[in-house]
Amino acid sequence: MSNSLNTPLDILGGISAEVFLRDYWQKKPLLIRKAIADFVSPIDGNDLAGLSLEELVESRIVLEHGETPWELKQGPFDDETYSSLPERDWTLLVQAVDQFSPDVAEVLEHFKFLPSWRVDDVMISFAVPGGSVGPHYDNYDVFLLQAEGQRQWKVGQMCDADSPLLKHPDLRILDGFEQTDEWVLEPGDMLYLPPRLAHWGIAKTECMTWSVGFRAPSTAEVVTHFADFVARFLPDEQRYSDADMSPVSNSNYIRPEDIQRLRQLMREQLDDDRMLLTWFGQYMTDPRYPDLLIGDDISVEDLKNELEQGAVYTRNPTARLAWSHIQLDTEPALVFFVSGNSRIISEHLVQLLDLLCSADAMHIDNLKPWLDDAEANTLLCELIKQGSLECIDE
C-alpha cells in the first residue's frame, strides 16, 4: 500500500491523505461509502460476547431501557448476562479487540497515513435493533467502520465542557442534540468524526461497528505527567533562588521580578527538547495491557541459532513502538520507544528500527544484515526479554 500523501486512497473514498488531513482531519466529518469494498468481518457477535467473558478484557453493555434509563453494566460478563437481555435496545462494547485478534488488527494497515503512535485501539460494538449509547461526543478522532448490519448515524453540534449532559453516574449523554445530518451505513462503509462533534448511532438491524480511535492526551495530562517525569531527574538542591535581589519596599508584596525568576526556573526544564521527546515517546507507547507482555530470556547465541533454524518473530499485539532522531552531545543518534520505555540507538540502525516497527514478521532473511552487529543483537534480545517481540510457530 502506498503511503504517498498525493495517492488516492480507497479507505478515504478516493481522496488523498493530503486532502483528508487538510480539509477533514479534526475539522469536519467525512462519509465514505465502500471504504473497504466487500468487507467481511472476521469475528461475529458471539466472538465478541466470548471476549467479554474474559477478566482482562474491558467490556460494557448499555441498555437504553434497563433498571434505570441508559443502564450501564460493566464486564466481565457470563452466559446468564446474555440470556437475560431483552430483544431490543442494548449494545455490547468491547475495547482493544485488536490486541486479542490479529485479524481485527489488520484493519490498522489502512491507516498508515497517520502516525501509528497516535492509534489507541479498535473498539467493537455489537447492537441489537434500537441499540445505542445515546447522543454524545468524544475528545478524540474516530473512524467508524460498519462491519455487519445497518446502523444509522446522526451528527450534530460541536461540543465542549459546557455542553449540558443528562444526569448519569457513568455515561456522558448529551442533554440536547442539534442534528445537522444523518446516514445509514452498510458493511464496508465508514464515517470519520473529528473531536467534540456530537454523534448518535442507532442500530437499524442487528449490527456490528468497528471504532478506530486515536490517543489524544489532554493538556492537563501533558502538564501533570510531564512535570512528574521531569521531577524525577531534579535534585532537591535545585530550588527557587533570588541572588542579587533588590530590597523590597513592602515585604508582603510579590513583585513581577519574583514571578520572572519563577518562570525562568520552570522554562529551563520545559524548554529541554530532549527531555520532552523522551517523555512523549514513552507516554504515547505505554501499553494498554502490560500484563500481556510476557518475555523469554534469550542469549545472542541462542537467538542466532533459532533464526538459522527458521524461527519467526512478530511484535506482541500489546507492544507499541516508535522512534525519533536525537542529538547526543555532538553526534546524531536515534531514540527508540518500546512499550513505555526508551533507549538510545546508534544512527546506523535506523533501517532496523523501521523493520521492527513495521514488518509483518522478523526472520533470518530480513534480520541477517544486522546479526553481526553487537548493538543490534543486544537490542533484539532485550525486545524478546521484554515481551515486545515474540516467537511464533510457522
State pLDDT tens for residues 20-76.
999 999 999 999 999 999 999 999 999 999 999 999 999 999 999 999 999 999 999
Q: Do 52 and 199 fall within a single domain?
A: yes
Is 57 inside any structural domain?
Answer: yes
CB atoms within 10 A of CB 61: 22
Q: Do 318 and 210 fall within a single domain?
A: no
**Backbone dihedral angles phi then psi of residue 221, each to the nearest 5 degrees:** -65, -45
Q: What is the pLDDT along the chain (394 residues), one digit of tens a residue?
A: 444 678 899 999 999 999 999 999 999 999 999 999 999 999 999 999 999 999 999 999 999 999 999 999 999 999 999 999 999 999 999 999 999 999 999 999 999 999 999 999 999 999 999 999 999 999 999 999 999 999 999 999 999 999 999 999 999 999 999 999 999 999 999 999 999 999 999 999 999 999 999 999 999 999 999 999 999 999 999 999 999 899 999 999 999 999 999 999 999 888 889 999 999 999 999 999 999 999 999 999 999 999 999 999 999 999 999 999 998 877 899 999 999 999 999 999 999 999 999 999 999 999 999 999 999 999 999 999 999 999 986 5
Print the domain residue range for 366. 290-392
Model pLDDT for residues 300-320, shown as the tens digit of each residue: 999 999 999 999 999 999 999
Q: Nearest-5° angle of CA 247, CA 249, CA 252?
A: 105
All three cell numbers of 315: 511484535
Residues, the chain: 394
Q: Do 95 and 181 fall within a single domain?
A: yes
Domain stops at, among 214, 246, 262: 214
Please answer whether residues 337 and 321 qualify as being in contact, where contact means their C-beta atoms are separated by less than 8 angstroms: yes
Q: Do 306 and 203 fall within a single domain?
A: no
Q: Do 51 and 165 fall within a single domain?
A: yes
Q: Do 71 and 190 fall within a single domain?
A: yes
**What residues does 125 pair with on adjacent strands?**
93, 209
CA 79 to chain centre: 30
Distance CA 122, CA 143 (A): 9
Q: Do 188 and 323 fall within a single domain?
A: no
Exposed, middle or buried: residue 321 (CB in 10 Å: 0-12, 13-18, 19+)? buried
- List alpha helices for 59-198, DSSP H: 79-83, 102-105
For the full predicted model, state whether its pTM sits above 0.85: yes
| Sign of the torsion formed by the C-alpha atoms of 237, 238, 240 and 244 | positive
Q: Do 208 and 315 fall within a single domain?
A: no
Is 210 inside any structural domain?
Answer: yes
Domain stops at, among 161, 188, 214: 214
pLDDT the model gives residue 4: 60
Q: Do 139 and 36 fall within a single domain?
A: yes
pLDDT the model gives residue 329: 78
Give residue 157's identity as a one-letter amino acid code: Q
pLDDT the model gives residue 129: 98
Q: Do 39 and 162 fall within a single domain?
A: yes
All three cell numbers of 31: 462519509
Q: Do 314 and 200 fall within a single domain?
A: no
Is 243 inside any structural domain?
Answer: no
Is 65 inside any structural domain?
Answer: yes
Please answer whether residues 98 and 121 qualify as being in contact, where contact means their C-beta atoms are separated by less than 8 angstroms: yes
pLDDT the model gives residue 2: 44
CA 90 to chain centre: 26
| Sign of the torsion formed by the C-alpha atoms of 209, 215, 218 and 220 | positive
Is 234 inside any structural domain?
Answer: no
CATH number, domain containing residue 194: 2.60.120.650
72 CB-near residues (< 8 Å, 6+ apart)? 60, 61, 62, 170, 171
Is 240 inside any structural domain?
Answer: no
Is 277 inside any structural domain?
Answer: no
All three cell numbers of 18: 493530503
CATH number, domain containing residue 373: 3.40.366.30
Domain stops at, among 214, 235, 269: 214
Is 69 inside any structural domain?
Answer: yes
DSSP 169-234: SS---BS-----EEEEE-TT-EEEE-TTEEEEEEESSSEEEEEEEE----HHHHHHHHHHHHHTT-
Report the domain count for the chain. 2
Q: Do 203 and 317 fall within a single domain?
A: no
Sheet hosting strand 142-148, strand order edge to edge: 30-32, 190-193, 142-148, 207-214, 119-127, 90-94, 59-65, 69-74
